[in-house]
Amino acid sequence: MEKLEKSKLEEMAKKVRRGILEEVYSGKSGHPGGSLSIADILTVLYFRQLNIDPKNPNWEDRDRLVLSKGHCSPALYSCLANRGFFPIEDLKTFRKIDSYLQGHPDKNKVPGVDMTTGSLGQGLSSANGMAIAGKMDKKNYRVYCILGDGEIEEGQIWEAAMASSKYKLDNLCVIVDNNNLQIDGTIEEVMSSYPIDEKFRSFGFEIIKIDGHNIEEIIKAFEVAENVKGKPTCIIAKTIKGKGVSYMENQVGWHGKAPNEEQYNQAIEELK
């Protein structure tokens, strides 16, 4: 695939966001806030960074992506559909009883999904396994794992982080979606995981800090991560929950609810 440049990536990110809104509106449930905050990161991954083949989703040498914060599946599905893994029209079936597009990604049902996720805290362990397997099999693929900043309150994340470092998984890139909001409020109010950078650094990770909505910074971060040797990388992306939809931005109430018709129409208009 031709690697999209900045302007085209920015346009694709808007398209991905429209897909997110369409899914959650059609399904009358879902998690728009955190899906919108990772839309730019996932767009760069799927339309520039990842070595993947929509015609062969299980290609042995493909790069892997684990969306550990699996409730933000609308963003993943929108990218997969726009990348050609399944028809874009199917996004309208999101969360419907007979749809394969469940609220959380299922690798057995959705083409392009590398790991079934949704139980928070478990994704990094799975990503470790994929990265270790790549090392053992002498493969060149890379593994990307997206964590929520609320999710990293889970103890299993830090057990997994120790393993990432112990096994020198330089084929692993962790991305923390640092939008500072979780279902019950701000990160500080619930269970502060700050300073995130110093914590991951103390666990042996190379740290890269970026604006998670700046396409150029995202591209550069992945390029830098590819050249880190002997240890895993953690990209801490400062983001805005609900990014791109004015009334959702930085509003904890939009963590997990669907817009009504008027709100949906306004959101789509803003994203044109």
192-239 pLDDT, tens digit each: 999 999 999 999 999 999 999 999 999 999 999 999 999 999 999 999
SS (H, E, C) the chain: CCCCCHHHHHHHHHHHHHHHHHHHHHHCCCCHHHHHHCHHHHHHHHHHHCCCCCCCCCCCCCCEEEECCHHHHHHHHHHHHHHCCCCHHHHHHCCCCCCCCCCCCCCCCCCCCCCCCCCCCCHHHHHHHHHHHHHHCCCCCCEEEEEECCHHHCHHHHHHHHHHHHCCCCCEEEEEEECCEECCEEHHHHHCCCCHHHHHHHCCCEEEEEECCCHHHHHHHHHHHHCCCCCCEEEEEECCCCCCCCCCCCCHHHCCCCCCHHHHHHHHHHCC
Q: Determine the Cα–Cα distance for residues 198 and 123; give it in Å rounded to an integer.
A: 21
- CATH 3.40.50.970 given to domain 6-270: yes
In the chain, where are the structural domains located?
6-270
166-192 pLDDT, tens digit each: 999 999 999 999 999 999 999 999 999
Q: Determine the Cα–Cα distance for residues 59 and 64; give it in Å rounded to an integer.
A: 10
Residue 1's pLDDT band (cuts 50, 70, 90): low
Residue 38 has pLDDT above 70, yes or no: yes
Rounded to the nearest 5 degrees, what angle is found at the Cα of 76, between the Cα atoms of 147 and 27?
115
Mean pLDDT of the chain: 97
Please list, in sequence order, all residues whose beta carbon lies within 8 angstroms of the beta carbon of residue 265, skipping any fewer than 6 positions away. Answer: none
Residue 3 has pLDDT above 90, yes or no: no
Instruction: Note the pLDDT of residue 241.
Output: 98
Mean pLDDT of 261-270: 98
67-108 pLDDT, tens digit each: 999 999 999 999 999 999 999 999 999 999 999 999 999 999
64-76 pLDDT, tens digit each: 999 999 999 999 9
